[in-house]
Amino acid sequence: MPDKLNLLIVEDSDAERALLAAELAACPGLAPRMAASLHDAADAITAAPPDVVLLDLELPDARGLNGVEWLQRHHPALAVVVLSGFAADDLVVATEAIRQGAQDFLCKGRIEADRLHRVLRLAVERKAREHRLVQGAVRDPLTGLPWLPQLEERFGRSVARNARNHAPLALLHIAIDDFANLRETHGIDRAEAALVEFAQRLARLMRRTDAVAKLDDTTFVALVDGMKHISDAYVVARKVIAAAREPIQVGDAAMRVRPSIGVVTDTGPDLEFRALLGRAEAAMYEARRQGGDRYAAAAELVPALA
């Protein structure tokens, strides 16, 4: 843990900020910054991620535990200590805050410098331990899709089963090319909502014998199994492109994502997942080089839709 913790205090009351600043003056181990709203906090976190957030539960743009939920969704590795003035319901609020993902709870008017420093440091340690455990989770918390190792296990079982009849398998490397632009244009909340909707469409497109997983923030991998013909993989790729072209409505914004897809097909008892995935990724870059919104098969670009 660093010698000095970077602390972001999210509190809209000038008087409360002044009281906190007075207490923090006695804490040389803390480097505090202030934000007056959740929107300001989001900007501050993007500019320089803190080690821990001290979050007021009554903000102009986040009431109750909404701010905790937002931080958990967008910054799951960030330690959060909630700050509340609900003295009569302290235990209820504290329990719910921790259930929502906060590491600890403090009541306004009862904060002393030494205790504040200790609570914040313990919160960072708890969050670091929790995050290490979450890294071993099998599903992406945003989209609900399994992570790649689960697909790799499924691939191994499919290879063993298909070796008897030499049935082909295919991997689709599906990368969203314009997510940064969506985030800049519509904001992170709407961009992530569009990504979740695309992931759900992708899962619905998969046949009973297929599977899909999350590779990283904006990349997915699909396994096309049980094919009668190699061309079945290209049919799936075309369906993914068509689904992405349907507008995604988030609030008053109509968005769409632009995927580049690499397709690789092969057959045999000795197929190696990582090698096939590398070939699919190379094909994806070929599709992207040609402008995206299409798929490429091996080294040859194939238009997504006629």
Give me the phi and psi of 295, to 5 degrees please: -125, 160
Answer whether residue 109 is part of any domain: yes
What CATH number does the domain containing 246 carry?
Answer: 3.30.70.270
Q: Is the pLDDT of residue 270 over 80?
A: no
Clarify whether residues 161 and 84 are in a common domain: no
Per-residue model confidence (pLDDT) at position 70: 87
What CATH number does the domain containing 34 carry?
Answer: 3.40.50.2300
Per-residue model confidence (pLDDT) at position 295: 96
Answer whether residue 98 is part of any domain: yes
With a pLDDT cut of 70, the percent of the chain lying above it is 92
Answer whether residue 139 is part of any domain: no
> Of 133, 158, 193, which one is at a domain's C-terminal end?
133
Per-residue model confidence (pLDDT) at position 173: 97
How much is the average pLDDT of 121-125?
90
- Confidence band (pLDDT; 50, 70, 90) for 137? low
- Confidence band (pLDDT; 50, 70, 90) for 301? very low
Per-residue model confidence (pLDDT) at position 6: 93
Domain that holds residue 126: 5-133
How much is the average pLDDT of 104-117?
81
Answer whether residue 280 is part of any domain: yes
Clarify whether residues 202 and 119 are in a common domain: no
Answer whether residue 288 is part of any domain: yes
Q: Is the pLDDT of residue 225 over 60?
A: yes
Clarify whether residues 129 and 164 are in a common domain: no
Looking at the structure of the chain, the number of domains it has is: 2
Clarify whether residues 20 and 107 are in a common domain: yes
